[in-house]
Amino acid sequence: MTSAPIKSSRAASQVAAPYAVPRVAPQRRWRPALVWLAVALVAAGGLIAAAVLRKVGTTAEYLAVSSTVEVGSTVDRSDLSTVRITVDPALKPIRASAADEVIGKFAAVALVPGTLLTRAQLTDTAVPGQGEQLVGLSLPQERLPAERIKPGARVLLIVTADGGPVGDQQQGTAAPLSIKATAVDVRAGAKEGTTLLNVAVADRDGPLIASRAAAGRIVVALTTGS
Q: Would you say residue 211 has pLDDT above 80?
A: yes
Q: Would you say residue 167 has pLDDT above 80?
A: no
- Kindly give the residue spans of alpha helices, DSSP state H, lying in the chain: 3-15, 32-57, 99-102, 206-214
List C-alpha distances in Å: 90 to 86, 99, 117, 149: 12, 21, 14, 22
Residue-wise pLDDT for 109-137, tens only, equals 889 999 999 998 998 888 888 899 999 99
Write out the residue limits of the CATH 3.90.1210.10 domain(s) in the chain: 60-123
Name the CATH architecture for the domain at 60-123: Alpha-Beta Complex (3.90)
Q: What pLDDT is stored for residue 226 in this prediction? A: 56
Q: How many CA atoms within 13 Å lie on the side-chain side of 67?
A: 8
Tell whether pTM > 0.75.
no
Q: What pLDDT is stored for residue 127 in this prediction? A: 80
Residue-wise pLDDT for 20-51, tens only, equals 555 655 566 666 777 777 777 888 887 787 66
